[in-house]
Structure 1
């Protein structure tokens, strides 16, 4: 087993230098017309003004589909961002065997100190601390003893951090969304192929117990030929977005002043894309999005925020509810919803339907023939014994947040790294699941006009391959 820094060599041969990747990537982006400037309020600025902007640029290196990690005995992790999400995810990284947190980074020094103390309290060596300004993450990425950089920062800097990690020879896992612009998604795809480093959207909802059970049932044919699915992020975040302490500044609320569409599609899109083998036999080809007026945040501010608060200078444009319809190459339909600005019980919808029946979540219920014939919803838990994923059978009561799926995700990712396996999802999935961010904005502005979703795989989607419905390692 090899614990050497992974930036030196892999199955594809020597990794290119950071300088050569920067130079070649910049040239390719310019040639493909992807230097789109700052993201503004127009479809053109979002990189979606016409079909030419979604055409696949020339491949920058061999595909990363099906490329395994380098085998190693210990996975050495650097964590960038120690706010609510980063701090909570430190726990599963410390709980999973064979993982060592070697470095932590956040511009707020107190957060790095708390994280370092947590690592030591878990009986591990004290990690290196990077708290010297907004760009100190670059020094963490330069370390020779980091195998995986985990990014849990505000969305604005996800792209830059993922890019820096790969340029320094590190695999990188990024919280949702992986980037905010179409040209940035393409650059991450190109960099992953050139550097031979994996760039993964760490979508924890793909590892939910219900999601993994539905996935295995779909692959076993329980729903017949798949026809439609739906996913969402409907979560009342008004109080948190206006809280002076929950987020480090107003960064999340400010995105509601910039984009009109679905700001957070991954939780809903990722699981349904897995059910339908998107990028593994099918692909998402277009999206049409429709948005309501943007009223919820302003009404909440009027009722709850005192005059003189800086938020009173903000004008909100993001639709309170965005509804998007995604069409796949095989003719299937995926409905996506996003609503964090109005009162609503939490729901990711999480539904799947086919020629033999349907599953719907929140609450979980199922109706599939020939098991059910009375036109009444049935108990989904009755399928646990036969169809629960081996990860949930092996870890029936996982620790950590979000019902244990955070732990399952970290366990599986680091297991793949230790054993030298192919990751359950890759940069093509990250780009596909995030593409609705800029594309839904463009579609809403164009009154629902369809936007082409790029084929980030450049044709690899036609090849069936494994994903989250994995086989337990021997």
Structure 2
């Protein structure tokens, strides 16, 4: 993921991009202000080809999504396993805050070799390469020559997986390059920023037979996985509703030139009005409802508050004359989205990084037998609880996922979720297993970025969420609640 998923400010991808970054700044993950290049484009555009050409910010962003799926470009990727391999050869694109924090986790995994690193600030790439050598591996190749070096990394013949930890607007181009060159790719959140790009990634994954995964670490949270197993065991009865959020006060970091340099992330608050970062909210709760595995998200309605928080914070904390005073913030301080599923269930999503509030991902699930709510964790299930009093969620520790039973105190950031994400990804690659999530999940979990914007601009008009699976969602299949493999 690209930002902190726990109340403390965790590592981010730390790259700089202006509204129109230069080709070189597609990769930049540290200092410097960018020039010209990628832009938001057609936020609600109909699915396009893999090229996904960008247009000027705001252009055609009122167009509704296409109502029917385009023809499939290849067999489905649902349920497709990786090829079994003893060694997973990894290339990393982006060594800012996020990429550099994930590198040590990759290095702890047995059977992983870091083959190549791409980062336009050579000093950062060299420091990362030194860590690889210190871990006992051969020195990785460094790609820091020009704006196209991520393409050269993807063209290597000795990579199995490309990991992308760069600014949001660069994710699509890098995932595309990886798959076109025969590599599986794991991308930090969100996987792309436009609907046509999401369709293009689905098409490319099917055509190239390579997995494109949204590396959503919150899916590996201890509470999230425990609730998932309890839900699948029927403890909540028939499932009715869920809620997730990314409510995280980031105002200080958004104006910190040493954290979000450029500052690329704050610029997005001048471009879109909707939910900029839905994945931490949507991914875990979609898993509870088996979205894309027996149910699917069919529509979204979004509303947003006025955009006041960032300007107010800037006035109180940023010196006059700072370049940020040229920015006009349009992204709602808090967005509220209601997603309807094919089975009639309701998912509530929230996003707020612009106002003062305690950290919360909400993480709620309700059914005919009771409800769970997080932050703090509490539960009420019949027949265990009565008198309208919350119960102790700790009593249900026996329902912990095997990953948490095997790794009771996982190292790494965000309470161990980062470690378990990489551990499980590498395990699936080495053993030739089906990944816990796929390109259809990546597209679904990211679709609220453009669609919430379109809904808010249309005064809350419902927006159809495309069926990225093209009907495969009707088939039950495994996901995060998978059995422990035998190695």
Shared topology, TM-score over 0.5? Answer: yes
Q: CA deviation at 1:90?
A: 0.7
Which residue is 1:13 aligned to?
none
Instruction: Check conservation: 1:83, 1:247, Cα contact below 8 A.
Output: no
Partner of 2:332: 319
User: After the TM superposition, which segments of 4 or more aligned residues of structure 1 sit over 6 Å from their partners?
Assistant: none
Asked if structure 2 preserves the Cα contact closer than 8 Å seen for 1:260 and 1:445, the reply is yes
Could you tell me how far 1:135 is from its partner in structure 2? Answer: 2.1
In structure 2, the CA distance between the partners of 1:465 and 1:250, relative to structure 1 (3 Å rule), is same
Is 1:39–1:181's contact at 8 Å kept on the other side of the alignment?
Answer: no
Query: Which position in structure 2 is the counterpart of 1:306?
Result: 319
Q: Contact (CA 8 Å) 1:286, 1:327: kept in 2 or not?
A: yes
The aligned residue for residue 204 of structure 2 is 191
Aligned-residue offset at 1:31:
10
266, 277, 285: which one aligns with 1:272? 285
Correspondence for 1:463: 475
The question of whether the paired residues in 1 share the 8 Å contact of 2:295 and 2:473 is answered with yes
Q: What's the secondary structure of 1:422's corresponding residue?
A: coil
Unaligned segments of structure 1, at least 5 residues = 1-29
Counterpart in the other structure of 1:243? 256
**Offset, 1:92:** 1.0
Q: Which residue of 1 aligns with 2:354?
A: 341
Moved more, 32-41 or 222-231: 32-41
Q: 1:338 to 1:297 in 2, by over 3 A?
A: same
Cα displacement (A) at 1:248? 3.0
In the alignment, structure 1 residue 401 sits paired with structure 2 residue 404? no
1-structure distance, mates of 2:47, 2:356: 43
For the pair 1:422 / 2:434, whether they are aligned, the reply is yes
1:119 shift after superposition: 1.2
The answer for the alignment partner of 2:164 in structure 1 is 151
Alignment of 1:27-426 (within 5 A): 37-38=54-55, 40-41=57-58, 44-45=60-61, 49-50=63-64, 53-385=66-398, 387-426=399-438
SS of 1:144's equivalent in the other structure is: coil
Structure 2 CA distance, aligned partners of 1:380 and 1:127?
45
Residues 188-242 of structure 1 deviation map (CA, whole Å, 9 limit, x = unaligned): 0000000000000000000011100000000000100000000000001111111
Q: How many Å separate the matches in 2 of 1:225 and 1:68? A: 30
Partners of 2:361 and 2:160 in 1: CA distance: 32
- 1:369/1:77 Cα in 2 relative to 1: closer, same or farther (>3 Å)? same
Cα displacement (A) at 1:50:
2.9
Distance 1:117 1:31 in 2: 45
Q: Comparing 347-356 with 129-138, which one deviates more in the overlay?
A: 129-138
SS at 1:79 equivalent: strand
Among 452, 456, 471, the residue aligned to 1:444: 456
| SS, match of residue 160 in structure 1 | helix
> 2:115 is paired with a residue of what secondary structure?
strand
Shift in Å, 1:360: 0.4
Whole-angstrom distance in 2 between the partners of 1:463 and 1:194: 21
Q: Which moved more, 1:86-95 or 1:460-469?
A: 86-95
Deviation of residue 134 (structure 1)? 2.9
Counterpart contact for 1:36–1:183, Cα < 8 Å: no
Matching residue of 1:14: none
Residue 72 of structure 1 aligns to a residue whose secondary structure is coil
Distance 1:228 1:39 in 2: 38
Superposed displacement of residue 374, structure 1: 2.3
Contact kept in structure 1, 2:161 and 2:183, CA below 8 Å = yes
Seen in structure 2, the aligned counterparts of structure 1 residues 336 and 464 have a Cα distance that, compared at 3 Å, is same
Scaled by the length of structure 2, what TM-score is found? Answer: 0.88
Which deviations, in whole Å up to 9, do the C-alpha atoms of 1:320-345 show, x marking residues without a partner? 00000000000000000000001111
What residue is the counterpart of 2:8 in the other structure?
none
Q: Could you tell me how far 1:113 is from its partner in structure 2?
A: 1.2
TM-score normalised by L of structure 1: 0.91
Q: Specify every segment of 5 or more residues in structure 2 that has no aligned partner in the other structure, as ranges.
A: 1-44
Q: Is the 8 A contact 1:324 1:337 kept in 2?
A: yes
Residues 143-182 of structure 1: CA distance to partner in whole angstroms, max 9, x if unpaired? 1111000000000100000000000000000000000000
